[in-house]
Amino acid sequence: MASRSLDICIIDDEIVVCKRLQQALTNDGHLVETFVDSRSALERIKEKRFDVVVTDIRMDEIDGMEVLAAVTEKGEDTKVIMITGYATIEIAREATIRGAFDFLSKPFKPNDLREMLVAAAKTLEVHDRP
Amino acid sequence: MTGPDTGEPPSSSSLSDILKQGLEREGLGHEREDRARLALLQRPRFTIRARLGLLFLALFLVSAIMASAGWLILAGVEYRLRYVTATDVFANEIQQARRYEKNFFLYRSELSEVLQHLDAADLLLRQAAEDIGPVVGFAEMTTIRAHLSRYRHSIDELIARNRQEDFSGSTDFKTLETSLRDDGSRMVSLALDISKKERAQISSLISVIQKVFILTSVFLLFLLLYVALHLSRHIISRLDRLMAATQRIATGDFSPILPQRKYRDEFSYLTIALNHMMQELEQRQDVLVESHKIRAVGNLTAGIAHELNNPLNNIMLTSEMLKEDYAKLDDEARLDMVNDLIEQAERARSIVKNLLDFVRESEVKREQLHLHNLLEETLRLAGNQIKLNKVKLELEVHPNLPPVYGDRSLLRQLFLNLLLNALDAMPTGGKLTFKASEEKEVGFLAIKVVDTGTGIPAHLLRAIFDPFFTTKPTGKGTGLGLSVSQGIARHHGGNIEVDSTPGQGTTFTVHLPFVTIPAELKVSRNSNGSSVGSI
């Protein structure tokens, strides 16, 4: 399924989400870093360029929208995938308008994310080529 | 956690359970009302109409007695008047007769005139005896008649002997003259005596009549005053009681009115009707509280669905990965994932249970409650909603607060209503503070719910507890939240006050009486109904 290895950053205050997504994506051959705490994730994003950032929208302190803002501000070609629960779907739609690549509604399966990553990898390749 | 919870009620709520509880509660209300109605009806009946009837009967009897007494006395007066007239005429005739008799002795004139007057007097006496009868002065009449016949006899003898020569000088003539004078003057003085005596009688009878009239008037006046006062006090005291009852109803106390007086009257039926109305109101109120509870839950839906999606998502991801990597994972890793599954399932269960506990508990059950637990349960229920609204929450509960005695579900609903209102008032986030402290002097606990929201304009403050009053757009608010909350607070012997500064925020203060009865005593009384305490 994996077209190429991607640098992926996963941010969710649910530790189980971090653990399982890391497991799934590492299996696929991606490089995965996970953060339960969005503040340290933001610091890491400042240091390192990721191909894809997968972030939960509702988190204490810094929420997904701020993460999105930080990534887009950096100006690099990083795809942001938002994870949304029931109550934040409107915010997720707004996020796609503001430049997010796509959003995932909880509960989702690992394959849902995988399909999205494939799509993200494709656009990244298209951009990489010239 | 997985062991059988025999002590707890089953966590799945079935509709029939709720319905059954509702019916039982309804039955309880009916029973209470029935008992009050029975007590009201069992008293002997003595209606206001009957009281009025009795009063008028008494008035009629008094007047009738007075009238007949007056009539009897007047009849007596009339008899005596006729007698007096007769004796006066009689005395007059005798005096006339005596004048001729004197003329005879002075000038030797004719005696026939005397006889004429005596005849008239005799006729008068006989008529009077027939007319008046033996009612008055019978003895005197006989005496007078005896004198009259003797007088007549003497006159007859005088006429007969007068023809004889030198009779006028004889001793017989002298004796006749003396006897005539004696009988004549006796008759006149007797007749005048009788007349005088009877006049005195008449005037005393008239004064009796006057007294009877005055006394009855005074008696009637006092009787009427007493009855008027009694009746008005009777009616007014009942009206006052009913008015107090309606004020009680307004504060949400629906306990039936119980009989206080010995007799049953028209007001008893009004009281029964009021009791019935209160029972109906109570049922409506219960339904209202219940339906509003569901609405409050509706407002929580987004938060709860969101909260539920987290464990669901964890379960989905974990189970998918467990399936995917099953073969290549070692036992420890698998166990770790299975434990995650159990933990997340448990988390989902507790979210659902918390919600159901709130919705399902419809039976009013009073128990000792610690505010800390109560507020935490409420906040847990709405925790996610608070986070979603970007509201910062603070809970300041004084340690060692005495417990309150009340229904857990109702009080949770009260605080949830206030909480949801506060969230609505802070659409762009803010700070929500729950402060609980003791008002020792008055025996109350004060729970303040402070928000930093839009506030309520002063002119609306008075209306916010009214049913169906809402500032929210149509379809968003029922306008029942605060009304229901106030009802719950009053039901627990407390109340809710509001204070607001537009633009700065609103503070709702819930006052609830705290418990001072030792806990053990209450528990043992609740469990077996006896009054044996364990202290």
B393 touches chain A (CB under 8 A): no
Query: Are the beta carbons of A20 and B302 separated by less than 8 Å?
Result: no
Nearest CA in chain B to A12: B310
The b-or-e profile of B502-513 (16+ CB within 10 A means b, else e) is eeebbbbbbbbb
State residue B317's pLDDT score: 95
Local confidence band at B290 (pLDDT 50, 70, 90 cut-offs): confident
| Total of domains in chain A | 1
> Judging by DSSP bridges, how do beta strands B430-439 and B391-397 pair with one another?
parallel
Q: Residue A17 and residue B313: Cβ atoms within 8 Å?
A: yes
Q: Which of B221-235, B324-338, B341-355 has the highest mean pLDDT?
A: B324-338
Domains: count for chain B = 2
- CA neighbours closer than 13 Å in the CB half-sphere of residue A10: 25
B327 and B205 together in one domain: no
**Shared-domain flag, residues B304 and B400:** yes
pLDDT digits (tens, 9 = 90+) for B194-213: 888 888 988 998 898 888 88
Which residue of chain B is at minimal alpha-carbon distance from A22? B321
Residues B205 and B314 in one domain: no
What is the rounded CA–CA span in Å between residue A126 and residue B44?
100
Query: What CA–CA distance (Å, rounded) separates A19 from B280?
Result: 58
Alpha helices in B361-493 (DSSP H): 371-388, 408-425, 458-461, 481-491
Is B316's Cβ below 8 Å from some Cβ in A?
A: yes
CATH number at residue B150: 1.20.120
Upstream peptide bond of A107 is cis (omega within 30 degrees of 0): yes
CATH at residue B449: 3.30.565.10
> Is residue B39 one of the residues assigned to a domain?
no
Q: Is B69 found in the same domain as B204?
A: yes
- The reply to whether B317 touches chain A by the CB within 8 Å rule is yes
Tell me if residue B168 falls in helix, strand or coil. Answer: coil
Q: Is the dihedral of CA B353, B358, B364, B365 positive or negative?
A: positive
Judging contacts by C-beta atoms under 8 Å, the chain B residues touching residue A58 are 306, 387-388
Burial of A48 (0-12, 13-18, 19+ CB in 10 A): exposed
Tell if the CB–CB gap between A106 and B387 is shorter than 8 Å. Answer: no
Q: Do B312 and A107 touch (CB under 8 A)?
A: yes
Contacting residues for B471 by C-beta, under 8 A, at least 6 apart: B456, B460, B477
Identify the sign of the CA torsion B276, B278, B280, B286. negative
Whether residue B34 lies inside any domain: the answer is no
Strands, sheet with B505-513, edge to edge from the N-terminal-most edge strand: B391-397, B430-439, B444-451, B505-513, B495-501
| A41 CA: distance to closest CA in chain B (Å) | 20
Identify the helix (H) or strand (E) that includes residue B296.
Answer: helix B266-324
Q: From the list B306, B325, B344, which residue is nearest A86 (CB)?
A: B306
| B384-410 pLDDT tens trace | 788 878 888 898 888 788 888 888 888
Domain that holds residue B188: 48-226
Is B514 in the same domain as B410? Answer: yes
User: In chain A, which residues have their Cβ closer than 8 Å to the Cβ of B388?
Assistant: 58, 87-88
A87, amino acid identity: A
- Mean pLDDT computed over every residue of chain B: 80
Question: Which tens digits make up the pLDDT trace of A73-106?
Answer: 988 889 999 998 876 677 888 888 888 999 999 8
| CB-count burial class (<10 Å; 0-12, 13-18, 19+) for B313 | buried
Residue B518 has pLDDT above 60, yes or no: no
Residues B289/B484, Cβ–Cβ less than 8 Å: yes
Residues B222, B318: one domain? no
Q: For the segment B211-244, what is each residue's pLDDT rounded down to a tens digit?
A: 888 988 898 899 889 888 988 888 888 889 888 8
Residue B219 one-letter amino acid:
F
B324 close to A (CB below 8 A)? yes
Q: Domain containing A83 — which CATH number?
A: 3.40.50.2300
Task: Using CA coordinates, name the residue in chain B closest to A112.
Answer: B317
**Position A2 in a domain:** no
Tell me which of B194, B226, B258 is where a domain ends.
Answer: B226
Q: Per the CB < 8 Å rule, is B313 touching A23?
A: no
Q: Answer yes or no: is pLDDT of B3 > 50.
A: no
Q: For residue B95, what is the enclosing H or E element? A: helix B48-107
- Is residue A1 one of the residues assigned to a domain? no
From B226, B257, B273, the end of a domain falls on B226
**What is the full per-residue pLDDT of chain A (130 aa) written as tens digits?**
445 789 999 999 899 999 999 999 999 999 999 999 999 999 999 999 999 999 998 887 788 889 999 999 988 889 999 998 876 677 888 888 888 999 999 899 999 999 999 999 988 877 655 4
Instruction: Say yes or no: B305 contacts chain A, CB-CB below 8 A.
Output: yes
Cα–Cα nearest to A1, from A124, A112, A126: A112
Residue B245 included in any domain? no
SS3 label, residue B514: strand
Residue B454 lies in a domain: yes
Q: Is the pLDDT of residue B58 over 90?
A: no
Give the closest of A16, A24, A86 to B305, CB-based: A86
Taking residue B455's Cβ as centre, other Cβ atoms within 10 Å add up to 18
Question: B391 has which bridge partners?
Answer: B430
Which among A19, A86, A110 has CB closest to B320?
Answer: A110
Q: Do B215 and B304 belong together in one domain?
A: no
B388 in contact with A, Cβ within 8 Å: yes
DSSP state letter for B133: G
Which chain B residues have a beta carbon less than 8 Å from that of A107? Answer: 309, 312-313, 315-317
* B472 confidence band (pLDDT: 50, 70, 90): low
Per the domain annotation, does B352 fall within a domain? yes
Q: Are residues B303 and B416 in the same domain?
A: yes
Domain around A101: 7-128
Q: Please check whether residue A124 is in contact with residue A77, taking contact to mean a CB–CB distance below 8 angstroms.
A: yes
pLDDT at B165: 67
